């Protein structure tokens, strides 16, 4: 069991990185260990910082999210990788899953939905035998099921 969830936030918009960090810092055991403005920097930082969770923007300069995910997965095989996108829901989910993402979340309701979605994903990954593809399917199913 992880006592502290180490998070790397990757987005080319500094304001959005700041907002995400503020939202995540509300969780007592979650610690922002780094921020990156593009995929290449993210892969470099991931190797040095060894985060448990990486939030990756889909559209970035230098290396976009879909290019970044498999490189992050190679460096961090057991980390939770989550793509964040402003594209319409479902547009990138399949491609993100194939690239190694555990989930693909919409930026539109980020403040309200980010922490609950990440909590569910973290809880799903703690189940025995859970893989990133299975966790992504389970998270997607839990979001589409009315509460």
Q: How high is the mean pLDDT of the chain? A: 84
**First and final C-alpha spacing in the chain:** 27
Q: What's the DSSP call for residue 78?
A: T
What's the CATH code of the domain at 97? 3.40.50.2300
Residue with tokens 């190679």: 74
Rg (CA), the chain: 14
Q: What is the mean pLDDT of residues 106-113?
A: 85
Percent of the chain that is helix, strand, coil (3-state, to 5): 50, 20, 30
Q: Which domain holds residue 127?
A: 5-144
Sequence-ordered strand ranges (E) for the chain: 5-10, 30-36, 53-57, 80-85, 103-106
At residue 126, the pLDDT reads: 62
Reported as type and span, the H/E element at residue 69 is: helix 65-75
| Kind of pairing between the strands at 53-57 and 5-10 | parallel
Supply 120's token pair: 């569910």
What is the per-residue pLDDT across 7-66, written as a single tens digit (0 to 9) for each?
999 999 999 999 999 999 888 889 999 999 999 999 999 999 999 999 999 999 889 999
Reported as type and span, the H/E element at residue 117 is: helix 110-125
6 vs 135: which has the higher pLDDT: 6
Measured distance CA(99)–CA(69) in Å, rounded: 6
- Judged by phi (left if over 0) then psi (alpha if -120 to 50, else beta), residue 18 lies in alpha
The number of folded domains in the chain is: 1
């Amino acid at each position: 069991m992880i006592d502290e969830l180490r998070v790397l936030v990757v987005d080319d918009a500094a304001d959005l990185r700041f907002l995400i960090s503020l939202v995540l810092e509300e969780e007592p055991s979650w610690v922002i260990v780094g921020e990156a403005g593009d995929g290449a920097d993210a892969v470099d930082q991931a190797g040095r910082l060894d985060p448990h969770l990486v939030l990756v923007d889909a559209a970035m300069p230098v290396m976009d999210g879909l290019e970044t995910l498999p490189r992050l997965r190679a460096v961090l095989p057991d980390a939770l990788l989550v793509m964040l996108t402003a594209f319409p829901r479902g547009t990138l989910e399949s491609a993100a899953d194939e690239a190694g993402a555990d989930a693909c979340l919409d930026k539109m309701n980020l403040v309200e939905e980010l922490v609950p979605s990440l909590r569910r994903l973290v809880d799903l990954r703690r189940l025995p035998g859970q893989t990133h593809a299975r966790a992504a399917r389970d998270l997607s199913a839990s979001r589409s099921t009315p509460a």
